[in-house]
Structure 1
Amino acid sequence: LIDEISLAEDAVLEPSRTLFLAKKGGNQTEEIVANPLFRILSTMKIGGNFGKKELSPALRNRFTEIWVPSLVERDEDLLAIIKERARNQSELIHFAPLIIDFMKWIKSQNEIAVSLRNIVSWVDFMMHFGTKQSQSQANHKPWIQAYIDGAHLIFLDGLSIGTTIVAYTFLSFAETRHRFSASAIEGPVEPV
């Protein structure tokens, strides 16, 4: 398994290359020969994004490409992941539809990339702080605060990292995010 094969130099990946291992304590080398059933499976990120390198056409022709769509596009998968990460914490599971709705909304805003890592980080944040705060309060307020703070931490704080985002855009996004979160949680939180 080769992870992110597109980052490797073409010369390293050429099929005519031979692998030799030099044993310690001598000048003897051993040639490694692949079993005829040997196969390579690799992953790569799509090209065209900043900092991403395309696999050369010569190497690309030697592989079969399988496009795997983002998990962020399938609600039932996201719901299952959130429930698994929530570890039967019913208050957090009630927020799963709100998390999914927010993910869809943020993805539609300014082509912001949303990943599974974002969801897992948000749910883990809510688990930690919501559980901690709810022990001292007998209502949904700690979970609502953890939901809003988690969205802010995962998305809003990350917007200015490594980008040249304009202050107005940043503040506009912050205000819109707050309005979305507030309107989403105004009504009673429905069980999943």
Structure 2
Amino acid sequence: MQHAPTSAAVLAVHRDSEHRFSKTTVDTIELQAGLGVAGDAHWGRTVQHRSRVKANLDQPNLRQVHLISQSLFTHVAGQGFEVRPGQLGENITLATAPGWLWHELIALPVGTELHFSQGPVVQLTGLRNPCVQIDDFQPGLFAAMLEKDAQGRLIRKTGVMAVVLQGGLVQAGDTVTQRLPTLPHQAMERV
């Protein structure tokens, strides 16, 4: 049985035309169907992430949009780190709300659609895999972005990745509703 859609709000949006660790907070981003965030270094039909381009530049871009819940920043603040929206390279920071906490966001199944109030729709493809560059940003933060569950499985906390199904504008204050895919659900893996 599927759960009722859960709504939240966009806290902030970010983009950067260069491959830098953090992204600049902007008033509005434009999502383009099948491509990603207009003006962002990860925009394109095929993979744009530098390490993945080296491996196979023809693979589809499953990392067009990166989303993080604001609650992740609160979580790592409890471990002594200060992280603000955009600093972990996300395109969209979701405001903390029931159903949108960092651990709930990364627990959504592959294929979950996020519908934004101005029309855009993205589909979750997997988890962002934290990289050691996080320690260049703040020493020790890489370890804080990983932990093991009770079964010994690795938990990656650095948000989710998505592809754009329907384009349009996204800005702070927009509402977003999640729609789960049909059963059976598939857990997200790193992409």
Q: TM-score per shorter chain, which class?
A: under 0.3
The TM-score with structure 2 as length reference comes to: 0.27
Structure richer in helix, relative to its length: 1
Q: TM (normalized to structure 1)?
A: 0.27
Answer 1 or 2: higher relative contact order, Cα 8 Å, separation at least 6: 2
**Larger Rg, first or second structure (1 or 2):** 1
